[in-house]
Amino acid sequence: MIRFLIKGLVRDKSRSRLPIIVVAIGVMLTVFLNAYITGFMGDTIEMNARFANGHLKVMTRAYADNVAQIPNDLALTGTTVLREKLSRRFPGISWSPRIQFGGLLDVPDEAGETRSQGPASGMGVDLLTPGSGEAERLNIASSIVRGRMIRKPGELLLAEELSRKLGVSPGDEVTLIGSTMYGSLSMVNFRVAGTLSFGVEAMDRSSLIADIEDVRLALDMQDAAGELIGLFDTGYYDDEGADEIAQQFNTLYDGDEDPFAPVMKPLTEQGSMGQLVAMMDLWTVYISGIFVLAMALVLWNAGLLGGLRRYGEFGVRLAMGEEKGHLYRTLIWESCFIGIAGAVAGTAVGLFFAALVQRVGINISGMMEGASMMYPSTIRTRITPTDYYIGFIPGLISTVVGAMLAGIGIYRRKTSQLFKELEA
């Protein structure tokens, strides 16, 4: 019987073509939207993780209590040994030392006198060690506006907006005035290698990036770092895995009351990131759920209308002696085949467009002007296992339910009504 029904649907295009197209379009939109939401929300979290919070962050207890002040006098020491221990104990996570610092940037004129000054918010990262991966994580190469990457010690990168405000160009020499780890005055000369723009106003206003060894030398922080950033090698944050790793690490220092003992915090325990992760998870469920429900109603109505249009056919088949139960079951089987065919086609097309946007991306940098929070300037979808089956929820179930409701009328057909329809 199944082969007979499939042949009937293939040969009678009026019964299968339009329903399959409607199902395919609905499933395609469902799959693409789910991948879009997952990608945009996930990229926002990952951007904050790569630039500031990490998936996991190791600090001293005292530093963690005053992290908003960036107290480098409370920084971690002996970071090389600690980093090696973390790498051995927690494989699958890349650990990188970072130093956040602030200072005054002084630009001299030809006579060596101050020409302009401005505050700068700096970050020391490992840019010169081969294979460190920090430049790729921060997307520095593609963010450079003028000049080039840092290639040797004594160079730094300035935000394009800050460089124009100070009248600085690549190749110029500037002086960083700040305070060392021990509270003394520090004045170190740097040469501007290039300028960059991340597309985020909060960073482009006054950011400065230098190699971590230069920053350690400037701030008297030998083998020290404000924080060790840990990122999963998978590239995506795993909340349950991060919580478990943090608990394992912190258990090692439960009995240690030293304020300079290290403490590990997952992403969700840093600032407002916990609220952001929870909010984005909720948004993903809500938006996807609303869209799936909307498409379910559309496909439900499509199945219902498809069944109602065939009441004349049902009458003829009943007049020929076909049982109502058999007729109803064949209607359900037909809707199953239509739903499966439409869901498969729609999922394939939706995954195609999702993969295209995931690879190429959609540039929204013009919409991010004035944003104080770090959002990606390019929207990319993210294909997850959910995208391979989420379209079958509205595509198959709704089509079948619509056909079931339409088929209820089969049991209400009366002989007198049937003959009247046939005479017409």
pTM of the model: 0.71
Closest CA to 147 of 196, 79, 102, 215: 196
Cβ atoms < 10 Å from Cβ of 347: 22
Of the ranges 25-34, 125-134, 385-394, 398-407, which one carries the lowest mean pLDDT score?
Answer: 398-407
| 63-83: pLDDT as tens digits | 999 888 889 999 999 999 999
Beta bridge partners of 227: 98
Pick the range with the lowest mean pLDDT from 9-23, 58-72, 265-279.
9-23
Distance CA 306, CA 296 (A): 15
Which pLDDT tens digit goes with each residue over 149-198?
Answer: 999 999 999 999 899 999 999 999 999 999 999 989 999 999 999 999 87
Res. 5 pLDDT band, cuts 50 70 90: low
Q: Are 167 and 187 in contact (CB under 8 A)?
A: no
Largest alpha-carbon pair distance within the chain?
A: 108
- Predicted pLDDT at 372: 47
Identify the weakest region by mean pLDDT among 53-62, 169-178, 396-405.
396-405
Weakest mean pLDDT among 107-121, 129-143, 309-323: 309-323
